[in-house]
Amino acid sequence: MTLETLSINRAYGGAQGVYRHASAATGTEMTFSVFVPPHADGARLPVVWYLSGLTCTHANVTEKGEYRRLCAELGLIFVAPDTSPRGEGVPDDPDGAYDFGLGAGFYVDATEAPFATHYRMWRYVTEELPALVAAHFPADTARQSIMGHSMGGHGALTIGLTYPDRYKAVSAFSPIVAPGQVPWGHKALGGYLGADRALWRKHDAVALIEDGARLPALLVDQGDADQFLEAQLKPHLLAEACAGTVIDLTLRMQPGYDHSYYFISTFMADHLAWHARRLG
């Protein structure tokens, strides 16, 4: 598995790198970032996966997430993949909308033409990229966690609920908790997976919990001034789904915060500390 280094910079005693590789999952080149904290030779470090939201690439959290200082202190590798395949021949939303196609892969493996050829983000994030990171970085694959924002929060929740033994902690910032019940999800899941809504349920956190998926705990931060709160995010649906289960949900409504990286960066340290305690 060949890896091309696009950039590498010293930060907090560690190394912030950006890398590119040819992906078998998507059939395209894919770019991602990795922060490796300072560590002793031969040490294997826990890994935090961060999934970004609509319109984003790896660069948004890499440049604005403010995670490096605490990752260096806690000894956490931080990995940020892209949000969709890109490049020549990769189909986009036919109307050029931001919520489908490029930058909006929704962390599913598409089955509908013309997207099925390249939009295999579930396989990429859960199989191919973890194998690549394990081969090239000092990652302890027995200690992994996952987090994300908005569409990436949806991805983190659904992946974490699907693989509870792999991810020791799962958290999210302003996630799409029930894509089967909101316009963003109707468009994306319908466009990628087709009209049969039964097939959507494994990519819907609320539906997964309703169908029996369990995790020990979830941490979710949501701004109460988020412009997408009522129409697209609906965190109360997650609270209702977790009620009466073994899932210990911490849902924090943060007064005055919106959907932006000002919000994410404010609470990033809380999430990383929460992950570190569970990663050991």
> Splitting the chain (280 residues) into consecutive groups of 10 residues, what average pLDDT does each group show?
95 98 98 98 98 98 98 98 97 96 98 98 98 98 98 98 98 98 98 98 98 98 98 98 98 98 98 97
- Which secondary structure element, helix H or strand E, spans residue 107, and what is its range? none
Active-site residues: which are they? 150, 226, 259
Q: From CA 98, how far away is CA 102, in angstroms rounded?
A: 8
Q: What's residue 1's pLDDT?
A: 75
Question: Which residue has tokens 């950006």?
Answer: 18
Residue type, position 145, single letter? S
Question: Which residue has tokens 């021949």?
Answer: 89
Q: What's residue 130's pLDDT?
A: 98
Residue type, position 142, single letter? A
Is there a cis peptide before residue 114, judged by omega within 30 degrees of 0?
A: yes
Q: Which residues contact 258 (CB under 8 A, 6 or more apart)?
A: 223, 225, 226, 227
Cα atoms found within 13 Å of the Cα of residue 96, Cβ hemisphere only = 0
Q: Is 107 within 8 Å of 122 (Cβ atoms)? A: yes
Q: From CA 2, how far away is CA 276, in angstroms rounded?
A: 30
| Nearest CA-CA partner of 275 in 173, 167, 175, 177 | 167
